[in-house]
Amino acid sequence: MTLSIAIIGAGPAGYYTAEAAQKMWGNGARIDIIDRLPTPYGLIRAGVAPDHQSIKAVTKRYEATNLAPNTRLVGNVMVGRDVSVDELLGLYDAVVLSVGAPLDKPIGIPGDDLPGVVGSAAFVGWYNGHPDHAGLAVDLSHHGAAIIGNGNVAIDCARILAKTVDELAGTDIAGHALDVLSRSAVRDVHIVGRRGPHQASFTTKEAGELGHLTRAHPIVKPGDLPPVEEDAALEPGHRKMVTHLRGFAGLERGDKPVTINFEFFRRPVAVEGQHKAERLIVETTRLEDGRAVGTGELHAIPCGLVIACIGYRTQAIPGVNWSDALGRFPTDAAGRIAPGLYASGWARRGPSGTIGTNRPDGFSVIEAMVADGIAASAKAGPDGLDALLASRGVSPTDFSGWQKIEAAEVAGARPGAPREKITDIAAMLAAI
């Protein structure tokens, strides 16, 4: 008998969990990495900014994991629709939910349902060519865009809006997004945060990049910066990021046509407009014991696009305990959900950390399996899944199918670009 493990989700968490299982059991385990899309790599493909190609090199590591003996990609299979978690628990010795957090948290303010208000998962998925969001209607006819949030995703969105077509043409940004961006009227981008520069969670690299854009000028109001001597209490990396912000406060305006305005100490309270977003109403705040407290002073940011970069939630799966308060599956510290059922990555700890943070997560889950005595049994494993899917007329794809999709994307790339992503599942299956 051979140990069998099903990992749901072919993103970083799923691959690091598979890698950990391979290191623990070698060829003594059969591992299925199941994903609802025919394409692997999750947020590496659909979340990492297209102009950050070096980060995507980690897919070579995931490819090696997938090509190892007894490990396979089972694509185009949706758990909860094509097969249930209970059925998987009946087929495999252990099941790991590594499904990430693909849903946007709602802003929760009046007007957040107006056309022109989108979440960052949708907006990032749009410009990255995710099938769920490729058809998103993005209207860039207004001169203003407001981005709510003070993390790297907010900077990514601002940078994509501010870059020239030439700066983006050599990336793997989706062609439909590049076309819309080429006709953009956006000239004033506002990054809105409730607290100040010391509380922002931008990283040094992402913040620094804004100072080197061809047509965009970053603006920080000098009065939003705390006294420089207070920077000494910050961690070195955070202090360096704040140094970039201080540099932006001292930049000459120049003749660049696009501004990226850091709106610190601003709390969004409403989106207003006639049948669509036309302005974001914000309240000035001040810090009290590290908390942002409203002052009652309101002002309007003119904008036709509002992007909420305020966090993500895991998609609930039928038959699995899920917490609305947490926005994910409740687990213990090691990732246990129920006997034989585990979670890793964002599905376990929420949307936090970097891509590499998922690696120790995956190893921790495998260690929990060992502690729980998970061992090979007479369960049918991958062969049983194949038989079940065939009985339901479900045709899964495999890693060789993904390689055909990738080859078609590379062949269809714009000059100088690494690929032109196929954004339609039917077209992906046709390429296979």
pLDDT score, position 253: 79
347 vs 328: CA distance, rounded Å: 6
Average pLDDT over residues 220-225: 96
The pLDDT score that the predictor gives to residue 257 is 96
pLDDT for 142-176, tens place per residue?
999 999 999 999 999 999 999 999 999 999 999 99
Give the per-residue pLDDT at 251: 86
For position 115, what pLDDT does the model report? 98
pLDDT for residue 254: 83
- Mean pLDDT for the stretch of residues 347-355: 89
pLDDT confidence tier of residue 12, bands split at 50, 70 and 90: very high
Mean pLDDT on 253-280: 96
Starting at the edge strand found earlier in the chain, the sheet holding 266-272 runs: 266-272, 279-288, 291-302
Name residue 67's amino acid: L
CATH 3.50.50.60 in the chain is located at 104-308
**Locus of tokens 């140990």:** 3
Query: Taking all residues of the chain, what is their mean pLDDT, rounded to a whole number?
Result: 96
**Looking at the predicted structure, is the pLDDT value of residue 295 above 90?**
yes
Average pLDDT of the segment spanning 123-139: 97
DSSP codes, 37-99: SSS--THHHHTS-TT-GGGGGGHHHHHHHHTSTTEEEEBS--BTTTB-HHHHHHHSSEEEE--
Query: Percentage of residues in the chain with pLDDT exceeding 70?
Result: 100
The confidence band for 48, taking pLDDT boundaries of 50, 70 and 90, is very high
User: Measuring CA to CA, which residue among 143, 117, 141, 121 is closest to residue 130?
Assistant: 121
What pLDDT is attached to residue 198?
97
Say what the pTM is: 0.95
Q: Identify the band that residue 413 occupies on the pLDDT scale cut at 50, 70 and 90.
A: very high
- The proportion of the chain whose per-residue pLDDT surpasses 90, expressed as a percent, equals 96
pLDDT reading at 269 higher than 90: yes
Q: What is the pLDDT of residue 85?
A: 98
Pairing of strands 341-343, 29-34: unpaired
Task: Reply yes or no on domain 104-308 having CATH 3.50.50.60.
Answer: yes
216 beta partners:
258
Residue intervals of the chain classified under CATH 3.40.50.720 are 3-102+314-431
What is the pLDDT confidence band of residue 206, given thresholds at 50, 70 and 90? Answer: very high
- CATH topology (fold) of 3-102+314-431: Rossmann fold (3.40.50)
Q: Which residues share a beta bridge with 145?
A: 189, 305
Q: Answer whether residue 353 shows pLDDT above 90.
A: no
Q: What per-residue confidence (pLDDT) applies to 310?
A: 95
Q: What pLDDT was estimated at residue 356?
A: 87
| 21-28 mean pLDDT | 95
CA–CA separation, 91 and 74 (whole Å): 15
Residues near 170 by Cβ (< 8 Å), separated by ≥ 6? 416, 417
Residues 333-362, mean pLDDT to the nearest whole number: 92
Collapsed DSSP state (helix, strand, coil) of residue 431: helix
Q: How many C-alpha atoms does 245 have within 13 Å on its Cβ side? A: 32
Smallest CA-to-CA distance from 417 within 240, 67, 170 is with: 170
